[in-house]
Amino acid sequence: MLVTEITAPPAHHRTRLLNLRAKQCRFILSDDLRDAVCCGAPTQEGSSWCAWHRKLVYIPSRLERYRQLTDGSEAASSTRRKS
């Protein structure tokens, strides 16, 4: 697994989509969308997902990861030159 420091939210948070309140994780766990059950775990301010599901749904782009690794300093020199 990619996620190491955050554990999956406990099942007792699970809430039907129709009963979901603000600041509850909106990650849908069930297959049946008509009676969808969401994660329901508490979310951080401004996020639709709990920390666990945010990690699952958010995948940084290659370029973003590259910038994090190289601090962006070598991004310009990676373009090919015709000589």
Identify any residues that bridge with 16 across adjacent strands, giving them in sequence order.
37
Tell me which H or E stretch contains 5: none
Whichever of 15 and 39 has its CB closer to Zn ion, that residue is: 39
Whichever of 15 and 25 has its CB closer to Zn ion, that residue is: 25
Answer for which of 6, 24, 27, 44 binds Zn ion (CB under 5 A) is 27
Answer for which of 39, 45, 68, 79 binds Zn ion (CB under 5 A) is 39
Scanning the structure block, which residue is given the tokens 């009676």? 35
Q: What are phi and psi of 15, to 5 degrees?
A: -140, 145
Identify any residues that bridge with 28 across adjacent strands, giving them in sequence order.
38
Residue 38 contacts Zn ion per CB under 5 A = no
Contacting positions for Zn ion (CB under 5 A)? 25, 27, 39, 41, 50, 53
